[in-house]
C-alpha cells in the first residue's frame, strides 16, 4: 500500500466504481431520477452540460464517452458520443473523433451498418482518417464483404503505409476471402458432380426400364438413395434399396444396398433359416431358404 509520511494513501478506484460515481453526479446523469422532476438544483446542474460553445459541449461529451468506453460500457459511451455529435461542433477534429469513437462503440455492439455510416461521415470530414477506414474494414469483414474490406485497407495504406493494424486487417480479409471463395468453388463442384450423377442415374433407369415415381415434398424422403457401386471400375453397376413385403404378416424387410448383379437367393440365404434365425413373425416356420420364390 502506498504511503506518504507514513500515512496510507487512498487506493485508486476501479474503473467500474468511477463510472458508477459519474452516474450519481447530476451533471453526468444520463437520465433524471423519478423524484427529481422538481429538483431545481439537479436541473440546473444538468443544464451546465450544454453551456459553452458547440465545440466545448462536444468535447465535454467526448471525454465522458471516453471514460465509459474505457469501462467497456459501450451503450452509455455511444450515448455521450451521440450527444457530442448532436452539439454540432465546428471543429472538424472533434467531430471526426466523435464519429470514429461512436463507430468503435457500434463495432463492439455489432451494429455494423451504423459503423459504416459513421465511418463514411468521418471520411467526408477527413479523407485521411485512418481509424474510419480501419473500423469500416472490420465491420465489412464481420459482414463477409471481403472485397470492400480490402478496398478500405488499400485506400488507407495509400496515405498511411506503416499502419500495422490496417496491414493486419488487410491480411485477414484476404485470407477470409480466399477461404470463402474456396468453399464456394467446392460447393459448386459438389453441385456439378451431383447433377452429373443424377443424369447418369436417369440414363441407367431408362436403360433398365426402371420407372421412377416422383415423391411429393410432404412425404418423408427415402434415406437410401440409388447410387453407383464405387467398387465397380466401370461405374455402371447400380446399388438400389429393395423392399421385401409380407402382406399376410403386415411386415417388411429392407435391403438398403442391393447390388443389381447380386442374385436374390444370396440375400434370402442370409435372411432366413437354415443360415439365419427364424423371424419372430413366422410362427409356422414357413419361411425357409429353398422354399421361397421371388
How far is 137 from 148, CA to CA, in rounded Å?
7
**C-alpha angle 98-99-104 in degrees, rounded to nearest 5:** 95
Q: How far apart are the first and last CA of the chain?
A: 94
Percent of the chain exceeding pLDDT 70 equals: 83
Asked whether residue 187 carries a pLDDT value surpassing 60, the answer given is yes
Is residue 170 helix, strand or coil? Answer: helix
Asked whether residue 279 carries a pLDDT value surpassing 50, the answer given is yes
Asked whether residue 267 carries a pLDDT value surpassing 90, the answer given is no
Second CATH level (architecture) for the domain 12-180: Alpha Horseshoe (1.25)
Do residues 292 and 272 make contact, with C-beta atoms less than 8 angstroms apart?
Answer: yes
Asked whether residue 232 carries a pLDDT value surpassing 70, the answer given is yes
Which residue intervals of the chain bear CATH 1.25.40.10?
Answer: 12-180
Closest by CA to 251, choosing from 282, 272, 225, is 282
pLDDT in tens, 126-184: 999 999 999 999 999 999 999 999 999 999 999 999 999 999 999 999 999 999 999 99
Closest by CA to 228, choosing from 243, 208, 244, is 208
Asked whether residue 186 carries a pLDDT value surpassing 90, the answer given is yes
How far is 19 from 21, CA to CA, in rounded Å?
5
Torsion of CA 137, 141, 143, 149, to 10 degrees: 50
How far is 56 from 88, CA to CA, in rounded Å?
10
Q: Where are the alpha helices (DSSP H) in the chain?
A: 15-23, 40-47, 54-70, 74-86, 92-108, 112-125, 130-142, 146-159, 164-207, 264-271
Q: Strand 227-228 vs strand 3-4: parallel, antiparallel, or unpaired?
A: unpaired
pLDDT in tens, 71-82: 999 999 999 999
Average pLDDT over residues 192-210: 92
Asked whether residue 48 carries a pLDDT value surpassing 60, the answer given is no
pLDDT in tens, 83-132: 999 999 999 999 999 999 999 999 999 999 999 999 999 999 999 999 99
Q: Strand 238-246 vs strand 7-8: parallel, antiparallel, or unpaired?
A: unpaired
Task: Please give the mean pLDDT across all residues of the chain.
Answer: 86
Q: How far is CA 68 from the centre of its chain?
A: 28
| Angle between the N-to-C axes of helices 130-142 and 112-125, in degrees from 0 to 180, rounded to the nearest 10 | 160
What is the pLDDT, as a whole number, of residue 5? Answer: 60
Average pLDDT over residues 234-242: 89
Average pLDDT over residues 175-204: 95
Starting at the edge strand found earlier in the chain, the sheet holding 251-259 runs 227-228, 238-246, 251-259
Among 19-23, 227-231, 239-243, name the one with the lowest average pLDDT: 19-23
Amino acid at each position: 500500500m502506498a504511503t506518504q509520511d507514513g500515512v496510507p494513501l487512498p487506493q485508486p478506484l476501479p474503473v467500474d466504481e468511477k463510472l458508477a460515481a459519474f452516474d450519481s453526479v447530476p451533471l453526468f446523469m444520463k437520465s433524471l431520477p423519478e423524484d427529481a422532476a422538481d429538483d431545481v438544483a439537479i436541473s440546473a446542474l444538468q443544464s451546465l452540460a450544454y453551456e459553452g460553445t458547440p465545440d466545448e459541449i462536444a468535447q465535454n461529451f467526448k471525454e465522458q464517452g471516453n471514460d465509459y468506453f474505457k469501462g467497456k460500457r459501450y451503450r452509455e459511451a455511444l450515448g455521450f458520443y451521440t450527444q457530442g455529435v448532436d452539439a454540432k461542433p465546428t471543429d472538424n477534429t472533434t467531430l471526426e473523433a466523435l464519429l470514429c469513437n461512436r463507430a468503435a462503440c457500434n463495432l463492439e455492439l455489432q451494429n455494423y451498418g451504423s459503423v459504416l455510416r459513421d465511418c463514411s461521415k468521418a471520411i467526408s470530414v477527413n479523407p485521411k482518417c485512418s481509424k474510419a477506414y480501419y473500423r469500416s474494414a472490420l465491420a465489412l469483414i464481420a459482414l463477409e464483404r471481403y472485397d470492400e474490406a480490402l478496398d478500405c485497407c488499400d485506400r488507407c495504406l495509400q496515405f498511411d503505409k506503416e499502419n500495422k493494424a490496417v496491414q493486419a486487417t488487410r491480411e485477414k480479409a484476404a485470407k477470409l476471402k480466399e477461404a470463402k471463395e474456396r468453399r464456394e468453388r467446392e460447393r459448386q463442384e459438389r453441385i456439378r458432380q451431383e447433377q452429373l450423377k443424377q443424369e447418369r442415374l436417369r440414363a441407367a433407369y431408362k436403360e433398365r426400364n426402371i420407372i421412377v415415381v416422383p415423391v411429393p415434398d410432404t412425404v418423408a424422403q427415402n434415406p437410401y438413395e440409388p447410387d453407383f457401386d464405387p467398387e465397380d471400375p466401370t461405374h455402371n453397376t447400380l446399388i438400389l434399396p429393395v423392399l421385401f413385403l409380407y402382406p399376410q404378416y403386415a411386415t417388411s424387410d429392407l435391403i438398403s444396398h442391393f447390388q443389381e448383379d447380386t442374385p436374390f437367393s444370396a440375400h434370402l440365404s442370409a435372411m432366413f433359416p437354415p443360415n439365419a434365425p427364424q423371424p419372430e413373425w413366422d410362427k409356422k416356420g414357413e419361411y425357409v431358404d429353398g422354399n421361397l420364390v421371388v
